[in-house]
Amino acid sequence: MDRSFLSDKGIIRASRNFVCARLSTYESKEEAEYLSGIFTRRGQLENTVFCIMSPDGKDRLVNSGRSPGWAFPGSEDQAIRDMEKKMDEIVSRYSVKKESRSSLPALPVLPSFRLALNVAACDNLPLVATVARSKESREKLQKQVNELAWSKEFIGRFIYVSVGEASELEKVKGLEKKEGLFVIAPDTFGQEGKVLSQVRLGAGRKELSEGLARAAALYQPEDKETRSHGALGRILDVNWETQVPVTDPGSPRRRESRRRGSRSGRP
- Give the model's pLDDT for residue 115: 94
- Give the model's pLDDT for residue 185: 97
DSSP letters, 198-241, are EEETT--HHHHHHHHHHHHHH-------HHHHHHHHHHTT----
- Give the model's pLDDT for residue 230: 82
**Who's near 79: CB < 8 A, 6+ residues apart?**
5, 68, 69, 72, 73
- Give the model's pLDDT for residue 265: 37
- Give the model's pLDDT for residue 86: 97
Long-range contacts of 145-150 (CB under 8 A, 24+ apart): 145/107, 145/181, 145/208, 146/104, 146/106, 146/107, 147/104, 147/205, 148/205, 148/208, 148/209, 148/212, 149/107, 149/108, 150/104, 150/105
- Give the model's pLDDT for residue 134: 95
Amino acid at 177: K
**Who's near 247: CB < 8 A, 6+ residues apart?**
44, 45, 46, 254
- Give the model's pLDDT for residue 218: 97
- Give the model's pLDDT for residue 70: 94
Q: How far apart are CA 204 and CA 59, in angstroms?
A: 43
**Who's near 43: CB < 8 A, 6+ residues apart?**
none
- Give the model's pLDDT for residue 261: 44
- Give the model's pLDDT for residue 129: 97
Q: How far apart are CA 173 and CA 161, in angstroms?
A: 17
- Give the model's pLDDT for residue 196: 98
Instruction: Judge whether 39 and 66 are in contact, CB under 8 Å.
Output: yes
Q: What is the mean pLDDT of each run of 10 residues along the chain (267 residues)?
A: 78 90 88 94 91 95 94 93 96 77 80 94 95 95 95 94 93 93 95 96 97 97 84 86 86 53 37
- Give the model's pLDDT for residue 253: 55
**Which domains, and CATH codes, for the chain?**
9-95 (no CATH), 109-218 (3.40.30.10)
